[in-house]
Structure 1
């Protein structure tokens, strides 16, 4: 299972100041405020597109209201702007620790502004291995409701980071696939190599399908009828040729497979369909018969001798 990587988005603070803003200056000639019409002679003023304004008029008509303290943000204050809201520099602070966010990375959580430390302490997950906070933007892995730093999620056997590779959980441990196979996977009875999928079981022992073959002809036996001799598997043909009784009539092996039955008399054996009178070919299964040297005869043929 064979975990996901996430990255917290950081908001960028926008500051309204500097180039392109209103210009402040002084006048020594006759010059009036465009709003109150009072002379700007020897006073500071701010030049707007439609004319000059004295400082009180500029603040009254053009200054923004701080979203935090609800007071005007004067021309001489550093104004901070975030998501259509304006703040005094000293009002733009963390909701939890009251720390200024003017020059700090921050996150907005449910419309609350939080410094990076407060956000991590309250909302970021902790690594199950080292118990430290998984910082926003760092690489992490998640599995079964738990979180790890990427470098903390390691194989319980080789102690190497698993990273994006496949892994296998075992109770509270996690193993990379090579270590798990080496430690836990069964091994083929014949080739002794790891058996990871498929395979067959014979005498409670695991085998690769390609390794489970007839002891005689080496034909694969998986999915085929087979029998055994001295705990060794044999295909039907090899077993019949090597170990099965031979029919006294047709001389072919009597294997008993496929529902076949056989009849024995003294040291001789016959297939059911081969147990016939040597003279008239009548089946003698379930009937009386008379042995005549190497032959067997029905009563009628025996009486004709």
Structure 2
């Protein structure tokens, strides 16, 4: 008696018939397609054993059904895109969905390098500096009057120049006498310390810190020889002036008894000042 070779599912004989082995078990074509064949995304029919099964992200198509949703051109062995689960050739996708370059107005093809800024898109080669026309790419840029500039061109065209070093001021400058300075360039004329953020005054148009101004230009007290810090616009120390000589209030005392002479009458003996009582003894 001949050995039987039947379909694992329907038990019909497979001798002389086409069949498919799945998980080491034989199936007739009808049973295999009913149990295991994928359904085509386009025509919704099973993809039989005699058809080529094309798959993409767990979805399946007959070879003839694998075409652009918009223009119907075959996509087999061609680049394609998807939108809302629909297959599209690159041309249709670009026409329907790709952004247009803000500069040349042409479509930016899928996969092309592009730059996006403030809701607009450019081909990478079209996003250029307004002045030098070189592509900006991934470099820093500065917008100005609806145009974009690379940093060096912006500094050359628009940045203020420091009156001391003549280089562009790109951040945090100082204005003195209506002119721009770098903070690092705005220094005391005397000690060369930075003046930004501290009180200062000037002499003949040159800026000085308070210490240097007092040391160089302030009047000296006759008694203690220390500067009397009286500087224009910054307030004045209380002092006494007599015959082109000056004293701090605290230093304006009788030479002999050291009593304060502020607000009192006094006498002089050569370069000394004396209270009236001590003056009578001279």
Q: Which runs of 5+ in 2 are unaligned?
A: none
Q: After superposition, what is the alpha-carbon deviation per residue over 1:89-125, rounded to whole angstroms, capped at 9, x for unaligned?
A: 3332222222222343222222212121121222222
| Cα distance between partner residues in 2 of 1:251 and 1:39 | 127
From the superposition, tell whether residues 300 and 123 of structure 1 become closer, same or farther in structure 2 (CA, over 3 Å): same
TM-score normalised to structure 1 length: 0.73
Two-structure CA RMSD over aligned residues (Å) = 3.3
Structure 2 SS opposite 1:288: coil
Per mean C-alpha deviation after superposition, the further-off stretch among 75-84 and 235-244 is: 75-84
Q: After superposition, what is the alpha-carbon deviation per residue over 1:59-86, rounded to whole angstroms, capped at 9, x for unaligned?
A: 8888765442344556665553444444
Q: Which runs of 5+ in 1 are unaligned?
A: 1-31
Q: Indicate the residue corresponding to 2:94 in structure 1.
A: 120
Q: Indicate the residue corresponding to 2:238 in structure 1.
A: 261
Which of 219, 226, 233 does residue 245 from structure 1 map onto? 219
Aligned: 1:129 with 2:106 = no
Task: Note the C-alpha offset of 1:266.
Answer: 3.2
Q: After superposition, what is the alpha-carbon deviation per residue over 1:193-235, rounded to whole angstroms, capped at 9, x for unaligned?
A: 2222334332232223332223234344344443211111123
From the superposition, tell whether residues 269 and 83 of structure 1 become closer, same or farther in structure 2 (CA, over 3 Å): closer
Aligned: 1:279 with 2:256 = yes
Which of 192, 211, 224 does residue 218 from structure 1 map onto? 192
From the superposition, tell whether residues 200 and 63 of structure 1 become closer, same or farther in structure 2 (CA, over 3 Å): closer
| Cα distance between partner residues in 2 of 1:299 and 1:279 | 11
From the superposition, tell whether residues 248 and 39 of structure 1 become closer, same or farther in structure 2 (CA, over 3 Å): closer
TM-score normalised to structure 2 length: 0.78
CA contact under 8 A between 2:266 and 2:273: conserved in structure 1? yes
Per mean C-alpha deviation after superposition, the further-off stretch among 188-197 and 210-219 is: 210-219
Question: How many residues matched?
Answer: 269
Task: Note the C-alpha offset of 1:152.
Answer: 0.9
Q: Indicate the residue corresponding to 1:19 in structure 2.
A: none
